[in-house]
């Protein structure tokens, strides 16, 4: 059995050797001969540049939509801040309402980040601002509950 397989391979190699020597079949290329042209070699071995899935107009449209979305979110956050500051009606050491101090600081921060274009930074600022408003309102609610409890205890005694 092994001898038959060996004989088969010898016959095949002999045929290939004769084909490569004869000029009758020049179109057959063997594996070790390589590419015909330089372009074929480069096409085979260089990474091809992938075409973008969207063209420039679509990319600009998506970028504008994203910016519009972040502007909308920023405006919504600013309105939330203004609504939340209504609850801060006591004054600081200088006699200025905390509401006005908080609104002024919010305005300064929004103006400082007005021309920010990096989407990652904008998102971080929006999330940080939203978290700050939520935590301030939570702390305010806790303090008001404590004050109500103290008042109830004082009324009961």
The pLDDT, as a whole number, for residue 36 is 61
Measured CA to CA, the distance from residue 119 to residue 69 in angstroms comes to 11
Residue 20 maps to a domain: no
The pLDDT, as a whole number, for residue 38 is 63
The pLDDT, as a whole number, for residue 139 is 93
The pLDDT, as a whole number, for residue 128 is 93
The pLDDT, as a whole number, for residue 60 is 77
Query: pLDDT tens for residues 88-117?
Result: 888 989 999 999 999 999 999 999 999 988
Coil/strand/helix, residue 115:
coil
- Measured between alpha carbons, how far is residue 51 from residues 48, 54, 113 in Å? 9, 9, 35
Residue 98 maps to a domain: yes
pTM: 0.56
Residues 6+ apart with CB under 8 A from 25: 19
Residue 108 maps to a domain: yes
Residue 131 maps to a domain: yes
Residue 110 maps to a domain: yes
Percent of the chain with pLDDT over 70: 66
- Measured between alpha carbons, how far is residue 106 from residues 14, 83, 92, 148 in Å? 87, 12, 17, 29
Domain that holds residue 142: 70-152
Phi and psi torsions of 97, nearest 5°: -60, 140
Which of the residues in the chain have pLDDT under 70? 1-2, 5-6, 9, 12-54, 67, 157
The H or E element spanning position 46 is none
């Amino acid at each position: 059995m092994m001898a038959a397989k060996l004989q088969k391979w010898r016959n095949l190699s002999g045929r290939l050797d004769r084909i490569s020597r004869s000029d009758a079949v020049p179109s057959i290329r063997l594996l070790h001969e390589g590419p015909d042209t330089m372009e074929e070699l480069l096409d085979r071995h260089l990474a091809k540049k992938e075409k973008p899935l969207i063209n420039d107009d679509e990319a600009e449209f998506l970028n504008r939509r994203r910016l519009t979305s972040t502007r909308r979110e920023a405006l919504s956050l600013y309105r939330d801040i203004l609504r939340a500051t209504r609850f801060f009606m006591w004054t600081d050491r200088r006699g200025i309402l905390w509401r006005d101090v908080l609104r002024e600081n919010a305005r300064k921060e929004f103006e400082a980040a007005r021309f920010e274009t990096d989407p990652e930074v904008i998102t971080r600022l929006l999330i940080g601002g939203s978290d700050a408003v939520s935590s301030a309102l939570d702390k305010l609610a806790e303090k008001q509950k404590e004050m109500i409890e103290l008042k109830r205890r004082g009324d009961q005694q």
